[in-house]
A and B are shown apart, each in its own frame.
Chain A
Amino acid sequence: MNQHPARTPFFSPRRVMILAGNTFTQLVRMKIFYFLLIFIVIAIVLNFFRLPHTVGPESVGAEELRSLKSPLIGVMKLFAVILGIAATALLIPRDLEDRTLYTILAKPVPRLDYLLGKFLGVLALILVGLAAMAILLNVVLHFRTQEILAERMALADGMIERGYWTEADRQGERLEVLRHGPTWSLQGALLAVFLEAAVIAAAALLISTFSSSTLFTVVITTLVYFIGHFVADGREFWLRTSSLGEDLTVHLASRALVVMFPDFRPFGVVDEAIAGQALPPSVLGALALSSFFYVGIYVVLSWFVFSDKEI
């Protein structure tokens, strides 16, 4: 008969990984990675795109690289956020509707393992998808940067010969082009895209535990995502302009609001990185910490709701 452990552990990483692997396979077999083909097509089209030389010659190189990065990272963000919401929203209600959940939870599977497995499966899919797109982005960006750098340096040499530019101008132009290439800040920005998707997926997980419909979860999570872009500004404005701002209860209520609706404003660092600004490790670290905080809160709340859910 059974040769398995005498007691079912409260939490089993192996079981979580089995469920995560199954969720990942399920989503992959839904042909979600066809999205990569769209990304490749956009990357190829953008690579042939040349800006008209209407802006000053100094900014043309950087502008061309920005116009390559911006839509591609936009597509990556779209992929990550849509998948974070839709895939998470789809999984639990679907398991419930199909009664697949009965067979899984009738096995010695704690509900926490099930939730974590589903969530990690979605995150793995987003991570793999983003990693594939990030590799492609970096390769395309590297070659394009080298190409533009060669053009700009040839132009700079001509300008120096004619006495318009100095060697410092040439070096400045070189650094300006390289700042828009595949930098560490750009890799940090791509990590921020993943973290943002992880937070919104965790919010979708929480909503899906008390909703029984995929559509409801998608709509509410999308609302949470949009509200999350304004909630911090609104809160600050309210506290600054309202006479209630000094009241402790109001302060606590406003903080609770920030927990309910995650603050997505700090993820704006992605746009800054696209603009060629440096992303310091401390900023990225703080972003990662706040993302872990939100993901942790939402997963624990999901577990509380789901552990008492009548199936």
Chain B
Amino acid sequence: MSTPPAVEVHNLVKDFRGPLRRGTIRAVNKVSFQIAPGEVYGLIGPNGSGKSTTMKALLGLVAPTAGRCAIFGKDATKVDSRREVGFLPENPYFYKHLSGRETLRFFGKLCGMRDPELRNRTNELLELVDLTEARHRRLGGYSKGMLQRIGLAQALVQNPRLLVLDEPTAGVDPIGSRQIRDLILELRSQGITVFLCSHLLEQVQQVCDRVGIIDRGRLVREGRLDDLVAIEDQTEIVLANAPPELIEDLRRLATARKGVRWIRSGHPRTTLEGLFLREIPAPARPTNPPHPEPGAS
């Protein structure tokens, strides 16, 4: 028997009633895509393009008007499909009266976990998201970045095979954003499927294997990220310690060929985020894998 896709969205249509129940507004229009197990998939698009509605339909929070969604082959409208899913909504707010530790225990219990498994998992996740010291503090006193991290931890509490993240770094500072990004990469290395919605294109580019571009409810482009962003008729060479005369030789050699055009050469630029992180280093965390500095030439 073949393994079902982690996520299957087939001809999804979602209409909402207009004001005073007059007419309908089509938020999602015949969207179809699949996410293979272990893949990191990014759904990108402007605000109001239908990203969050697609996500909500996948989580059974809204009922599709037409089409179907499935998680690991299970109908997404059924509660059972959510056993394997962890979800982090955009700007999550949890119960402010609970501490970080109590929050994780609450969500773990809802997933049917019991001690000692739950206790160990809670401690492990608090360590992973760097909130061990703040574990007894109530969420009302957490910063936005801390809330986002505890949100990520609750999404992971039952060891889900699929992680659904809606704008996971919205409102988070660059260090927190980097930590979340590194965590997504680490989860991918553990074989966890990640479905990510964001309008932060650079972030999506750094973590996703495949992307879909959604606009006004329609999926306008979909495929492997490398294929979609590659400029087929251009080639990039990055050299270290190259003297100016070598660059000049290369330019002369290249332009001597018919049809070849030298577009530019120069020093690659780091991003503002890269500069920020170099000047204000994140606290050393052994769980963070090294991440390549994005560059351009």
Interface residues of A, Cβ cutoff 8 Å to B: 1-5, 7-8, 12, 15, 18-19, 22, 25-26, 29-30, 98-100, 102-110, 308, 310-311
Is there an interface contact between A311 and B56, defined as CB atoms closer than 8 Å?
A: yes
- Over the window 51-74 of chain B, the binary record of Cβ atoms lying under 8 Å from chain A Cβ atoms (1 yes, 0 no) is 000001001111100000000000
A304 to B69, CA, bound (A): 23
**Listed stretches B75-83, B179-187, B284-292; interface member:** B75-83
**A7 cross-chain contacts in B, Cβ below 8 A:** 80
Task: Add 16 more A-B contacts to A3-B117, A5-B112, A311-B56 (CB < 8 A).
Answer: A22-B98, A22-B106, A99-B92, A100-B95, A103-B89, A103-B94, A103-B107, A103-B154, A103-B155, A104-B110, A106-B82, A107-B110, A107-B111, A109-B82, A110-B79, A310-B16
A105 to B84, CA, bound (A): 13
The 9 closest A-B pairs by CB, nearest first: A106-B87, A98-B93, A29-B97, A4-B112, A102-B89, A311-B61, A108-B83, A108-B82, A18-B109
Q: Are the CB atoms of A103 and B151 closer together than 8 Å?
A: yes
Given known pairs A99-B93, A103-B94, A106-B85, the reply for A4 and B110 (CB within 8 Å) is no
Q: A22-B95, A25-B97, A26-B97 are in contact. Are A2 and B83 (CB under 8 A)?
A: yes
Known: A30-B97, A103-B92, A109-B110. A8 touches B151 (CB 8 A): no
| Residues of the A chain whose Cβ atoms lie less than 8 Å from the Cβ of B91 | 99
B residues in contact with A12, CB < 8 Å: 112
Q: Is the CB of A8 within 8 A of B56?
A: no
CB 8 Å contact bits of B85-129 with A (1 = contact, 0 = none): 101111111110110000000110111110001000000000000
* Shortest Cβ gap from B158 to chain A (Å): 6
Check A100–B82 contact: CB distance below 8 A.
no
B11: interface (CB < 8 Å): no
Most buried by B among A1, A12, A22, A25: A22
Residues of A within 8 A of B154 (CB): 103
B36 CB to closest chain A CB (Å) equals: 18
| 25 A–B contacts, CB within 8 A, in A order | A1-B161, A2-B84, A3-B117, A4-B83, A4-B111, A4-B112, A4-B158, A7-B80, A12-B112, A18-B110, A25-B97, A26-B97, A98-B93, A99-B90, A99-B92, A102-B59, A102-B89, A103-B87, A103-B94, A103-B154, A103-B155, A104-B107, A106-B89, A108-B80, A108-B111
Bound together, the chains give a CA A103 to CA B111 distance in angstroms of 12
Within the assembled complex, what's the spacing in Å between the Cα atoms of A100 and B107?
A: 11
Tell me the nearest residue of chain B to A29, going by C-beta: B97
Question: Which chain A positions have C-beta within 8 A of B63?
Answer: 308, 310
Bound CA span A100–B87, Å? 11
Contacting residues, chain A, for B132 (C-beta < 8 A) = none
Contact residues in A for B113 (Cβ distance below 8 Å): 4
Which residues of chain B come closer than 8 Å to A104, judged between CB atoms?
Answer: 107, 110
Contact (Cβ within 8 A) B93 A105: no
Q: B159 at the A/B interface (Cβ < 8 Å)?
A: yes
| Closest-CB distance, A286 to chain B (whole angstroms) | 38
Provided the pairs A8-B79, A103-B154, A110-B79 are in contact, do residues A311 and B92 lie with their beta carbons within 8 angstroms?
no
Q: What CA separation (Å) do A217 and B16 show in the bound complex?
A: 24
B92 to chain A: which residues have CB within 8 Å?
Answer: 99, 102-103
Residue of B nearest to A117 (CB): B110
Q: How far is the CA of A5 from the CA of B111 in the complex (A)?
A: 10
CB distance from B25 to the nearest CB of A (A): 13
Which residues of chain A have C-beta atoms less than 8 A from B117's C-beta? 3
With A2-B158, A18-B109, A99-B89 as contacts: A108 and B79 at CB distance below 8 Å: yes
Q: In chain B, what residue has the closest Cβ to A104?
A: B110
B106 pairs with A106, CB closer than 8 A: no
Which B residues are in CB contact (< 8 Å) with A5? 112
A residues within 8 A CB of B158? 2, 4, 107
Q: How many residues of B contact A (CB 8 A)?
A: 39
Shortest Cβ distance from A30 into B: residue: B97
Chain A contacts for B111, CB-based, 8 A? 4, 107-108
- Central interface residue in B83, B154, B159, by most chain A CB within 10 Å: B83
Q: Give CA–CA (A15, B126) in the complex, Å.
A: 23
- A105 x B109 contact (CB < 8 A): no
By the criterion CB–CB under 8 Å, are B87 and A102 in contact?
yes
Nearest Cβ in chain B — how far from A280, in angstroms? 43
Q: CA of A18 to CA of B102 in the docked complex: distance in angstroms? A: 12
Q: A311 touches which one: B62, B109, B110 (CB < 8 A)?
A: B62
B105's closest neighbor in chain A, by CB? A18
Within the complex, what minimum Cβ distance (angstroms) separates A116 from chain B?
13
Q: How far is the CB of B278 from chain A (nearest CB, A)?
A: 35
Across the interface, B83 reaches (CB within 8 A) one of A8, A19, A22, A100, namely A8
Among residues of A, the one whose C-beta sits closest to the C-beta of B90 is: A99
**In contact, A1 and B60 (Cβ under 8 angstroms):** no
CA distance A110 to B91 in the complex (A): 24
8 A Cβ contacts from B126-156 to A: 151, 154-155
Chain B contacts for A107, CB-based, 8 A: 82, 107, 110-111, 158
Give A20 to B169 CA distance when docked, in angstroms: 32
Chain B residues in 8 Å Cβ range of A25:
97-98
Report chain A residues within 8 Å CB of B62: 310-311
Contacts of B83 in A (CB 8 A): 2, 4, 8, 108
| Contact for B110 among A2, A15, A26, A29, CB less than 8 A | A15
Query: Contacts A99-B91, A310-B62, A310-B63 known; A2 to B159 CB distance under 8 Å?
Result: yes
- Chain A hits for B107, CB < 8 A: 103-104, 107
Task: Give the shortest distance, in Å, between A117 (CB) and chain B (any CB).
Answer: 10
